[in-house]
Chains A and B, each alone.
Chain A
Amino acid sequence: MCGIAGVIHRDGEADIGQEMVQMLQAMKHRGPDSTGYALYAPPTEGIVIRFKLADANDARDFEFGERLERHRNEVEARLGKIGATVERMEGDTEYAFRARVRYTGDIKALADYLEDVPGCEVLSIGTSLEIVKDIGDAETVAGMYHLGGFRGTHAIGHVRMATESDVDISGAHPYWAYPFSDVAVVHNGQLTNYFHWKRRLERSGHRFQSECDSEIIAVYLAEKMAAGASLESAMKQSLDDLDGVFTYVAVTSDSLGVAKDEMAAKPLVLFESENLVVLASEEMAIRAIIDHEIDTYDPYEGQVLVWSR
C-alpha cells in the first residue's frame, strides 16, 4: 500500500522535520516496514552527503564493528583523495553517516568513488537535500536520526509496505536521483515497464541502488532535467513513458511536484494555501499538522502539479 507525504513552505523555514514525523506517523498503518525522509534545508556553499555502510538488519558477526570503522575511514580518505574537504563527519547510527564537505567536482565521480568502498551506499548528495531512511515507523526513525529539530523549507516522506523488494534501507524511499544533486522522489504504486527503463537508463551510465521500481522515477526525472527540461515538463513526459499505477512526489532544491497516472489508481489529498502546500495519501496526515478546518481536494487522473518556493 505505502503512504507518501510532502510539505512546502513558500515563505520561509519551518520545523519540517517535526511536521514530516507527525504526518508519516499518522499513516503508519499504510506501511510499517520502513520510513524515509527527504528534507531540504536552505542551500549552503558546501554539500551534505548521507551514506550508509551496512543495514540495520545485517548480521552482526565478530568483526562487524571493526569493519564499519575501517570502511568509514576509507570513505573519509577517499573524500580527501578526490578533492573534497571534510568539514564534519558524524554517525547517527553505527552504520549511517552524514558528512558535510566542500567539493566542486563531478558528483557522479564522487558518488561512484565512495560506493566502491565495500558496503557503502550513498543515500543523497546535495547542497540542501538530506535523505534519511531506515527500518521502523516514523517516530522510531526520526528518533534514531534526531530529525525532530530539523528546520527547512520543504520535505517529502514515505512509509513503506514492502511488496516487490526487501525490507532494508536500500528498498526504502525516498530515492535520490543519482547522480544529480538535490533531486528526490517518493512513490506509491507499481511501474510495469520497470525493467525496460532500468536497462535504458543503465545503458546511459546510471547505476541503481536497489531493485525497487520507484528508483526509476528519480533517475528518469533527473536525466530529463539535466537535459534542460523543467521539473514540470519532465513529470508530464513521465506520464507517457511510465506504465503502471502510480502517484509520486518529486522534489528539487526549490520545487515540489506531484504526478498521478492516467488511471488515478493511487490516492493523494492536497491542501493548498498561499504560502503552504501539504499533501499526503490520506487526509488524516495533513490534519496531523494543521489544527484548523481546511478544504482539501484530490488531483485528477493524468494531472501534474508543481509548486516552487
Chain B
Amino acid sequence: MAEGSSQRVTYDARGLSEPTVETPKVSQIDGDRAVFDAGPLTTRQINRELRWLVYEEGVHDVTITNPGAKHSLGVAILTRCTITFEGSLGYFGCGLIDGPEIHITGRVGWSFGENMMSGVVVIDKNAGSLTGAAFRGGDLVVKGDVGARTGIDQKGGTILVGGNGGMNIGFMMQRGRQIYCGNVGPGLGDSMYDGSIYVAGSVKSLGIDCVEAEFTPADKEMIDRKFAIYDFGTPPAFRKFTCGRQLWNYDNLEPSERKLVL
C-alpha cells in the first residue's frame, strides 16, 4: 500500500481484497507497442498495467498474454488504441469501452462488452450469455456462438455473430443491429422497441412483438459491408426481424421524453 494511503479493509468475507494496487510495470515496451504476461497478475494489476501503458506511456498497441479467463479485464478504456488478448477472458470483459480496437483470440464469458460505446471488438471463439448488454455503439464481432440474451437492451452499434445464438436474443433491444449467420433460440427479439435482427439460419420462435420485416437493399448493403470488413466470406441469405410496435406506448409521450427513453 502506498505510503500515506488511507485505504483499509475492514471486512473481507471472500478473502479476495487487493489492498495493494501498485501498477506492476512489467511490460516490455518497444516504441508504441508493448506486451505483458497477465498470468501471474491479478485483475486489478492487469487493468492498472494496461491503463498505465495507454494513458501514461503513450503506447498504442498492447498485447496481453495468458489472461486465463480472469474477469473484468480491459474495462473502461476510453481512448483509441489496439489491444490484443492472447487467450480467453472471463465475465464482464471490455465493458464501458469507448474507442479501442480489441482482438481476443479465445472465448469470452458472460456480459462481455457491456455498455460498449464505440470501437471494434473481434472475438475469435465463443461468447457467453448477455454479450453486448446495453451495447451503445461500434462493432462487436463474435466468430463463434453466443449465449442467451445477447444484445439485451442494446442501444446502438452492430453485433455480428458467425455462429448460433441462444434464447431471447435482442431482448428489449432499443436500437442497432444484430446479425446471426447460424440459428437462434426461442423468444427472438422479445419486447424489442426498435432496431433490426438478421438471421441466416432457423429461428426457434419469435418473442412478443417481434415480427419478420422486408429485407431491403440497404440491409444487404450493410451486411455485405460488414462481411467484407471482418472477412466473413460471402454472406448467406438473411431474414430480417424488427419490432411489431404493438406494445409501443410512446405515442403519448412528449418528444423530449421519448428521446430520454430511447
A positions within 8 Å CB-CB of B: 28-29, 32, 137, 262-264, 267, 269, 282-284, 286-287, 293, 295-298, 300-301
Are B126 and A267 in touch, CB under 8 angstroms?
Answer: no
8 closest residue pairs by CB, A with B: A283-B69, A264-B148, A284-B69, A301-B167, A32-B14, A298-B147, A29-B14, A297-B126
Q: In the docked arrangement, what's the CA distance between A301 and B148, Å?
A: 8
The residues of B that contact A284 with a CB separation of less than 8 Å are 68-71, 90
The residues of B that contact A286 with a CB separation of less than 8 Å are 69
CB-contact partner of B125 in A137, A262, A295, under 8 A? A295
Say whether B201 faces chain A, with CB atoms less than 8 Å apart: no
Question: Which chain A residue has the least Cβ–Cβ distance from B186?
Answer: A301
Say whether B16 faces chain A, with CB atoms less than 8 Å apart: yes
Are A300 and B69 in touch, CB under 8 angstroms?
Answer: no
Are A295 and B107 in touch, CB under 8 angstroms?
Answer: yes
Q: In the docked arrangement, what's the CA distance between A287 and B87, Å?
A: 11
Q: Which of B68, B90, B128 has the most CB of A within 10 A?
A: B128
Are A287 and B14 in touch, CB under 8 angstroms?
Answer: no
Question: Which chain A residue has the least Cβ–Cβ distance from B148?
Answer: A264
Say whether B166 faces chain A, with CB atoms less than 8 Å apart: yes
Main secondary structure of the interface of A (DSSP, over half): loop
Q: In the docked arrangement, what's the CA distance between A309 and B129, Å?
A: 30
Are A282 and B15 in touch, CB under 8 angstroms?
Answer: no
Interface residues on B, range: 20 to 34
Question: Which chain B residue has the least Cβ–Cβ distance from A286?
Answer: B69
Given contacts A264-B129, A267-B129, A287-B68, whether A296 and B88 have CB atoms under 8 Å apart is yes
Given contacts A28-B16, A267-B128, A298-B128, whether A283 and B107 have CB atoms under 8 Å apart is yes
B113: min CB distance to chain A, Å? 16
Q: Which of B69, B106, B144 has the most CB of A within 10 A?
A: B69
Q: In the docked arrangement, what's the CA distance between A236 and B71, Å?
A: 32
The residues of B that contact A269 with a CB separation of less than 8 Å are 109, 128
The residues of B that contact A287 with a CB separation of less than 8 Å are 68-69, 88
Given contacts A264-B147, A267-B109, A267-B128, whether A282 and B14 have CB atoms under 8 Å apart is no
Are A282 and B68 in touch, CB under 8 angstroms?
Answer: no
Say whether B85 faces chain A, with CB atoms less than 8 Å apart: no
Are A300 and B90 in touch, CB under 8 angstroms?
Answer: no
Known A264-B149, A282-B91, A284-B71; further 20 A-B contacts with Cβ < 8 A: A28-B16, A32-B15, A264-B148, A264-B166, A267-B91, A267-B109, A267-B128, A282-B109, A283-B88, A283-B90, A283-B107, A283-B109, A284-B90, A295-B125, A297-B107, A297-B126, A297-B144, A298-B129, A300-B167, A301-B166
Show 26 residue pairs from A and B whose CB-CB distance is below 8 angstroms, ordered by the A residue. A28-B14, A28-B16, A263-B148, A264-B129, A264-B148, A267-B110, A267-B129, A269-B128, A282-B69, A282-B71, A282-B109, A284-B68, A284-B69, A284-B70, A284-B90, A287-B88, A293-B87, A295-B125, A296-B107, A296-B126, A297-B126, A297-B144, A297-B145, A298-B129, A300-B147, A301-B148
Are A137 and B15 in touch, CB under 8 angstroms?
Answer: yes
Say whether B185 faces chain A, with CB atoms less than 8 Å apart: yes
Are B90 and A282 in touch, CB under 8 angstroms?
Answer: yes
Say whether B13 faces chain A, with CB atoms less than 8 Å apart: yes
The residues of A that contact B167 with a CB separation of less than 8 Å are 262-264, 300-301
Q: In the docked arrangement, what's the CA distance between A296 and B107, Å?
A: 7
Q: Mark contacts of B148-192 with chain A using CB atoms, 8 A cut-off: 1 yes-contact digit, 0 otherwise.
A: 110000000000000000110000000000000000011000000
Question: Which chain A residue has the least Cβ–Cβ distance from B91?
Answer: A282
B204: min CB distance to chain A, Å? 10
B70: min CB distance to chain A, Å? 6
A209: min CB distance to chain B, Å? 26
B207: min CB distance to chain A, Å? 13
Question: Which chain A residue has the least Cβ–Cβ distance from B16?
Answer: A29
